[in-house]
Amino acid sequence: MLAFVDSTYTCLVVAIGVVPCLPQLGRLLRTGDPSGLSLPALLAGLVNHAAWTVYLSGAGATGLLVGNLLAWLVWTAMTVLAVRGLPRTRACLVPMAWMLVLLVVGTRQPALLGTALGLGSLLVFLPQAVGAWRGPSLAGIAPLTWWLLLVQGLVWFGESLPGLLVGGLAFGVVCTVSSLSVLLALSVRRPRPVLLATPAPDPVLAA
């Protein structure tokens, strides 16, 4: 019975790692509209998913590792679909520089990789959390993705707490707070339907 519970919980953790990005991927496939998404955040996500794979491989967190690998594939598909419709700015160079930083940390100070990844979560979520309030359009954002990311952040925090995985704890906090920011922006900035006033009767016709 205990083995069944453990297996079920592991599958749940894996699903929570993969499922959040599926609504956003589906929206991109249906509409092709990436409005409201951040290209620097997407590129940083590609870099971080690769580094998380290395970090989690030695952390004994099987559910998080498998979920991260599958989420990496979904994230890659999202980036490929969105990149053609998003502007290239100097901010896109930040993920490239971040990749070099992670390479140095991973090879010279691997014990600090978890902390670095926790800080790197800011590069993935902060541009989106801020951009949701400043962008001209949020039409390309899938709200369900951010509800699921909110759950994912809480799960990562809970999974990382027993082993005090600094990277996972930081990711959980950043993911949770950023998800709340985007969801609040979607709620506040959602276009309100305009009620058309009933036209007054034409006096000529009324006569």
* Vertex 37 angle, CA 101 and 87, to 5°: 80
Whether residue 98 contacts residue 65, with contact meaning beta carbons closer than 8 Å, is answered with: no
Q: Does residue 37 belong to any structural domain of this protein?
A: yes
pLDDT at 206: 44
Q: Does residue 203 belong to any structural domain of this protein?
A: no
> CA-CA distance, 38 to 123, in Å (whole number)?
11
The whole domain housing 147 covers 22-188
143-171 exposure pattern, b = at least 16 Cβ within 10 A, e = fewer: bebbebbbebbbbbbebbeeeebbbbbbb
Q: Does residue 194 belong to any structural domain of this protein?
A: no
Q: Does residue 17 belong to any structural domain of this protein?
A: no
CB-based contacts of 125: which residues, under 8 Å, 6+ apart? 41, 174, 175, 178, 179
Q: Does residue 193 belong to any structural domain of this protein?
A: no
> CA-CA distance, 30 to 60, in Å (whole number)?
38
pTM here is 0.73
Question: What's the structural domain count of the chain?
Answer: 1
Whether residue 79 contacts residue 46, with contact meaning beta carbons closer than 8 Å, is answered with: yes
Q: Does residue 166 belong to any structural domain of this protein?
A: yes
| H or E element that contains 184 | helix 166-189
- Residue 140 carries which side chain, given as an amino acid letter? G
Whether residue 19 contacts residue 68, with contact meaning beta carbons closer than 8 Å, is answered with: no
> Residue 170 is encoded by which pair of tokens?
């930081």
Q: Does residue 56 belong to any structural domain of this protein?
A: yes
pLDDT by residue, tens only, the chain of 207 residues: 666 555 665 666 666 667 788 888 999 999 888 888 888 889 998 998 888 888 777 766 677 777 778 888 889 999 999 888 888 888 888 888 999 998 998 888 888 887 888 788 888 888 888 888 887 777 778 888 889 889 888 887 887 788 777 777 888 888 899 999 989 988 887 644 434 344 444 444 444
The 8-class DSSP code of residue 84 comes to G
Q: Does residue 199 belong to any structural domain of this protein?
A: no
For the chain, how long is the longest CA-to-CA vector? 90
